[in-house]
Copies of this chain bind each other. A is one copy, B any other.
Amino acid sequence: MGMPRSAVTQSASGVRHLSPSYAAAFLGLLRAGEVVDRELDRDLREAHGIGLPAFEILLYLGAFSDHGSLRMGQLTAQAPLSQSRVSRVVADLERRGLVRRQAWQDDSRSVVVTITRGGTALLDEASETHLAGLDRVLFSRLTRSEVSELARLTAKVLGDAAPATGAARRRALEG
């Protein structure tokens, strides 16, 4: 199985390497991901003082939770960040008064994170920045059907393997 023989060629020096088309797909995927990530992160930092990871956490709390609250474990499951990273980002958000942390009633080992009024306000503003950035670096460059195709291809690449923090994510989604 695996890649067809034509994917690999031999350079003058004898080193086996990828054919141009395969190299373009590989390098393109890595660099496009980097560029989009970096640009959006920079936009948010310059305009609102928070990075993309912090923005995503506010977004999960503000837009994809029932009452603006999620436990740390749930956040770790959704964000493509390690448990320790989520912990540090949330601690920073709390320092800025954008979220609140409190022990969970049912099991005080868990910590419930709740977005504050100020956090919601920042989220609203930052969402506009984020959407504008996405349009600029990604969506304005593709047709609607190309967006769908990109979604399909990347999903296929990701396959079963859950994004980034695979094991932790799967565990948390089950628990």
A contact set with B: CB distance below 8 Å? 1-4, 7-8, 11, 13-18, 21-22, 24-38, 59, 62-64, 68, 80, 120, 123-124, 127-128, 131, 134-142, 144, 146-151, 153-159, 161, 163-164
Contact = CB atoms under 8 A, between A and B. Distances in A.
Report the copy number of this chain in the oligomer: 2
A139 B37 contact: no
Contacts of A161: 35
Contact of A155 (B8, B28, B33, B149): B28
A154 B37 CA distance: 14
List the 8 closest A-B pairs by CB distance, nearest first: A33-B33, A28-B154, A24-B151, A31-B163, A3-B139, A25-B151, A2-B135, A32-B154
20 contacts: A1-B140, A3-B139, A7-B139, A21-B151, A24-B155, A26-B134, A28-B157, A29-B29, A29-B138, A30-B80, A31-B80, A31-B163, A32-B157, A33-B33, A34-B164, A35-B158, A137-B157, A141-B156, A142-B156, A146-B156
B29 A154 contact: yes
Contact of A3 (B80, B135, B157): B135
- The A interface is mostly helix, strand or loop, or mixed, namely helix
B127 A15 contact: yes
Nearest to A132: B2
